[in-house]
Chain A
Amino acid sequence: MKRLLLSSGVVVFLAAPLAAQSPTARPPVRPTVYAITNATLVPVVGPRVPNGTVVIRDGKIAAAGAGVAVPAGATVIDGSGLFIYPGMIDSGTRLGLVEIGSVPGGQDTQELGQFNPQDDVLSAVNPHSEHVGITRANGVTSVITSAEGGLIQGTAALIDLDGWTPDEMAESGRVAMVMTYPRVGGGGRFGGGRFGGGQNQGDAAATQNRQVRELTEYLRNAKAYNERPNPVPQNLAYAALGPALRGEQPVVFDVQTEGQIRGALALADSFKLKLVLRGATEAWMLADTLAARRIPVIVGPTVSTPTGDAPYDAVYALGGVLAKAGVLIAFQTEDGGEGNSRNLPYNAALATAYGLDPDEALRSVTINPAKIWGVADKLGSIETGKVANLFVTTGDPLDVRTVVKHVFIRGVLMPWDDRHTRLYEKFRARPKP
């Protein structure tokens, strides 16, 4: 109902020729200048601005603040009573790789073997997945997407949730190299042994030790390869690790336990890696160390249960403990095709209930991930000159009750054409049988 109203609500403010369009159709010509007026701006890097205006021109934020003039010819959206936030960034998903979880052809996340640094996730992202539309509809405008399985998964991509092709979506196509630190009970994430049950603890530990040796040796060989001038024959896998081993590209380590975190720190020291920890449910044990070493942590998904007999709030409270210690944090949903990415702000909300400052929580889904992924000059806040990824709401995006009214990606007003809105409108209009 609200969606229906607001799709037509937009039309009210659009120029006359666009009003004739179907509410869900994308206009053939994109207006390039918008002004959202009379709204509360939440830049996240500075104080809130009541009665503010944001001007969007050619995909960028041309002006933002109080007393900003509406340019001639701009399409005006009245933001009275509404709030403008920078688009949210989910720092861990499988978006574009999974359409339907249970259907074998619906998943494209896991290559064979332990070492696949040469795999570029962006090549497998389906820009027309139904998940793209339903995710951005809640204000998540960019996500990190990456593969899973094994010890080195390849590059992750930072994509905006709009575009005709993967390259068009990419903010940064090879934003990081993704690795998993071996753990007892399985190789990579969801690796063997998780549900196997057959492996005893001694064998599992031996497997982990072997995998740590293999990973270390692999990195050592890759480093040697990358130090050789014009190596022949070429090894594309080793070559792909060049930027990470030169410290130019962050390395994301998916980890959970304290042991894995310590191991990843040791590897990062040995190879001078620019480390980002992700998951890291036991990172609270090393919060001060991580803060001192300025290692960012991607927390989450917060919607998960503590392992073993950890305190009931161990997952919820982690973000607050790390932030208070001075660690730069962001959140991930690990959306593997269940539709979780749109719930990114609610992952952060649970953390606020257990100690994370609400403003820091908001930064953890906007400017913090932009910093971690090296795009803070383009994304993550409402500032003049930045990419116009932003959304307009009825209130705090961390509050489930808040309704998203408009979403802009790169200055384009997104149509309400996602699968869920379509089905809702269709069946809400079903006549009584």
Chain B
Amino acid sequence: MRHALILALPLAAGSLLAQARPDSTRPAAPAAPPVLSVPIPPAATLVAITNATIITASHGTIEKGIIVIRNGKISGVGKDLAVPAGAQVIDANGKYVMPGIIDAHSHSAAEAINEGSQSVTAQVRIQDVLREDGISLYRSLAGGVTTLNVLHGSANTIGGQNAVIKLRWGLPVDSLLFAGAPPGIKFALGENVRQTNVPQIPGRTPRYPRTRMGQEEVLRDAFTRAREYQAEWKAYETAKKAVKKGQLEPIPPARDLQLDALVEILEGKRLVHAHSYRSDEILMLLKVAKDFGFRIASLQHVLEGYKIADEIAAAGTGASTFADNWAYKLEAYDAIPHNAALMAERGVVVTINSDSDERARRLYQEAAKAMKYGGASEEEAIRMITLNAAKQLGVEKQTGSIDIGKDADLAIFSGHPFAPASRVEMTLIDGRVFFDRNKAPTLENLIEMLKRRPRPNTTSENGGIK
């Protein structure tokens, strides 16, 4: 329900903010300290995290281990490492360190979500509408998240180009972009594209497609056009090369930004992340992709993936799902919390994502549900929010596990990340501390601050009611 609202009402954020202002009938409350005042952390060139239980996500768990970070990269991880001289030491005694959490499906940091006017909008880019100041970015950091796959919504069959970002809170917006992350794109199938859950405006012509059949047609038509466009350019390049001195240059084809993006998909240069729910529509998409010779990098939501796990595994396609949301739409009525574990059991690379500023704050809790339902191992469940997500986004050489050479993207927890009373103490990106619970504005701090303030002379105990 809430999820559906996010997708359908991208403009709602403004009115929600407005609502959050204080009621006019109560006395003016002291202003909360702005979170924006958190200082930009300085970068340390040499850091050592000591005495930690290290959940590597790639090669098991190391007790009482040390992680050495040089210039933002992990330069050492293990049990018997020396702390280099001059290193800034973070004592993690009794604490757990895991790779920074990667949210494989997010809309945080995007100012606009859907370009829903047409069925195919491959030309639009999330990176053009990124904002660095959304409070949800900071709150996700406080939940141990370091990387987001910021996607368009699910309004159209072929949405727009995603942006993979790191939560470098406090730095200018361009510094959010994850350097070296392969470009991607959002597809969508099912009810949201059909616009079955939004009221039809009288007098307005409904947008094509209105059925799943129409969605297949839109895909095949788009990639047929893309192939023709690709062929035109190839013919042009060939002709251009064959031009002899004195001959006229051939006329280039008209540049089409939409088809450029689709050609990149055909050439395997752009990863497809496809919003999908039902098994039939997923099979349709896999068939279309096969016919046009490309791979779907990840199926998003994929709530009925467990019904066709073998087919998804055979296509080499990843699956990125919710832990246990269900029944918020008709196409979510067959969703089961065992989905992630069952798909993993059948060989699919599975991630658990948030698609929500709220769930992003506690993805570690969501991942543990894969252990509860369907019996995934602890390591598998950890990978579902780290290494597997890095694989789905094509950044597994840079991040997603605690290995030498990778970016030092880390979350330090007070206890085991899956234990009930654990919380994030510190989040590092590229070796830099972007969240530190000890320095963060907390409710406890706020209460203490208010107690220290002098009381006003008069109070209105009944909220202004006569």
Q: Are B197 and A303 in contact (CB under 8 A)?
A: no
Would you call B368 an interface residue if the criterion is a C-beta within 8 Å of the partner chain's C-beta atoms? yes
- A194 to B18 Cα, complex, angstroms: 9
Contact for A317 among B2, B23, B444, CB less than 8 A: B444
Q: With the chains together, A255 CA to B396 CA distance in Å? A: 45
A110 to chain B, nearest CB (A): 13
B445 at the interface (CB under 8 A from A): yes
Q: Is the CB of A205 within 8 A of B465?
A: no
| Neighbour of A427 across the interface among B142, B306, B372, CB < 8 A | B306
Contacts of B306 in A (CB 8 A): 423-424, 427-428
**Are A311 and B32 in contact, with the CB atoms below 8 A?**
yes
**Interchain CB contact under 8 A, B372 and A403:** yes
Contacts of B258 in A (CB 8 A): none
B61 contacts partner chain A, Cβ-Cβ < 8 Å = no
Across-interface contacts of A196 in B (CB, < 8 A): 15
Measured CA separation A192–B31 after assembly (Å): 27
- Cα distance, A165 to B217, chains bound together (Å): 48
* Contact with B358, one of A101, A183, A216, A304 (Cβ below 8 angstroms): A304
Query: When the two chains form the complex, which single residue of B334, B358, B361, B371 contacts A423, counting CB atoms closer than 8 Å?
Result: B334
Q: In whole angstroms, how far apart are the Cα atoms of A42 and B420 in the complex? A: 17
User: Judging by beta carbons under 8 Å apart, are B357 and A185 in contact?
Assistant: no
A-B contact count (CB 8 A): 231
CA distance A98 to B326 in the complex (A): 12
How close is B183's CB to chain A, nearest CB, in angstroms?
A: 30
The interface residues of chain B lying within 8 Å CB-to-CB of A354 are 423, 443
- Whether A308 lies near B326 (C-beta < 8 A) is no
**A305, A310, A400: the one within 8 Å of B357 (CB):** A305
Across the interface, B372 reaches (CB within 8 A) one of A183, A349, A401, namely: A401
Nearest CB to that of A348 among chain B residues?
B420
Known: A186-B19, A305-B361, A312-B142. A353 touches B420 (CB 8 A): yes
Beyond A102-B330, A195-B9, A195-B15, whether A313 also contacts B1 by CB under 8 A is no
Contact with B along A325-368 (1 / 0, CB 8 A): 00000000000111100110010011011110010000000000
Does residue B463 face the partner (Cβ distance < 8 Å to A)?
Answer: yes
- For A430, give its contact among B23, B307, B372, B421 (CB under 8 Å): B307
Say if the beta carbon of A2 comes within 8 Å of chain B.
Answer: yes
With A311-B35, A338-B325, A358-B421 given, is the CB distance from A183 to B9 under 8 Å? Answer: no
| Chain B residues whose CB sits within 8 angstroms of the CB of A205 once the complex forms | 23-25
Pick the interface stretch among B46-54, B82-90, B132-140, B148-156: B132-140
Q: A197-B15, A260-B23, A263-B463 are in contact. Are A314 and B443 (CB under 8 A)?
A: yes
**In the bound complex, CA of A318 to CA of B16 (Å):** 21
Report chain B residues within 8 Å CB of A309: 32, 34-35, 135
Once the chains are docked, how many angstroms separate the CA of A350 from the CA of B461? 32
Judge whether B463 and A312 touch: CB under 8 Å: no
Chain B residues numbered 388-428 whose CB sits less than 8 Å from any CB in chain A: 414, 418-423
Given known contacts A311-B445, A312-B139, A313-B142, is B20 in contact with A100 (CB within 8 Å)? Answer: no
Interface string of B1-13 (1 = CB under 8 A from A): 1101100010110
CB distance B368 to A350 under 8 Å? Answer: no
Q: Does A349 contact B327, Cβ atoms closer than 8 Å?
A: no
Which one of A102, A194, A430 contacts B4 once the chains associate, using CB atoms below 8 Å? A102
Does chain B have a CB within 8 A of A108? no
Chain B interface helix/strand/loop/mixed? loop
CB–CB B358/A305 < 8 A: yes
Stretch of B171-179, B288-296, B335-343 lying at the A interface: B335-343
- List A contacts of B21 (CB < 8 A): 184, 201, 308
CA distance A108 to B368 in the complex (A): 33
Q: With A194-B19, A424-B336, A433-B310 as given contacts, are A313 and B463 in contact (CB-CB < 8 Å)?
A: no
Contact B139 A305 (CB under 8 A): yes
Q: Are B24 and A337 in contact (CB under 8 A)?
A: no
B34 touches A262 (CB 8 A): no
Report how far A79 CA is from B440 CA in the complex, Å. 44
Residues of B within 8 A of A349 (CB): 365, 420-421
A309 to B374, CA, bound (A): 38
Chain A count of residues within 8 A CB distance of the other chain: 83
CA–CA, A183 to B23, complex, Å? 7
- Chain A stretch 388-414: residues in CB contact (< 8 A) with chain B: 396, 398-403
Q: Is B29 an interface residue (CB 8 A)?
A: yes
A317 — which chain B residues lie within 8 A by C-beta? 442-444
Which residues from chain B contact A24 at a C-beta distance below 8 Å? none
Contact B12 A195 (CB under 8 A): yes
User: Which residue of A has the minimal Cβ distance to B444?
Assistant: A317
Judge if A278 is at the interface, Cβ distance under 8 Å. Answer: no
Q: Does A258 contact B (CB under 8 A)?
A: yes
Expressed in whole angstroms, the Cα–Cα distance for A399 and B371 within the complex equals 11
Question: Given the complex, which residues of A lie within 8 Å of B414, measured CB to CB?
Answer: 353
Chain A residues, CB < 8 A from B12: 195, 197
For B16, list chain A residues within 8 Å (CB): 194
- Checking A100, A318, A433 against B311 with a beta-carbon cut-off of 8 angstroms, the contacting residue is A433
Q: Is A402 a contact of B372 with CB atoms below 8 Å?
A: yes
Task: For the complex formed, measure the closest distance between the CB of A289 and the CB atoms of chain B, giving whole angstroms.
Answer: 9
CB distance from B106 to the nearest CB of A (A): 14
Q: Would you give the 0/1 interface string for A291-327, flagging 1 where the beta carbon is closer than 8 Å to chain B?
A: 0000000000001111111111110011001000000
A205 to B326, CA, bound (A): 37
- Known: A100-B327, A309-B32, A349-B420. Is A424-B374 also a contact (CB below 8 A)? yes
Instruction: Pick the 10 closest A-B CB pairs, nearest first.
Output: A259-B23, A308-B20, A349-B420, A259-B26, A262-B463, A400-B368, A266-B462, A185-B19, A205-B24, A353-B423
Q: Which residues of A line the B interface, CB within 8 A? A: 1-2, 98-103, 130-131, 134, 183-186, 193-197, 201, 205, 208-209, 212, 216, 257-260, 262-263, 265-267, 269, 284-285, 303-314, 317-318, 321, 336-339, 342-343, 346, 349-350, 352-355, 358, 396, 398-403, 419-420, 423-424, 427-428, 430, 432-433
Please name 5 pairs of A and B residues whose Cβ atoms are closer than 8 Å in the assembled complex, sorted by A: A98-B327, A185-B19, A195-B9, A197-B18, A305-B357
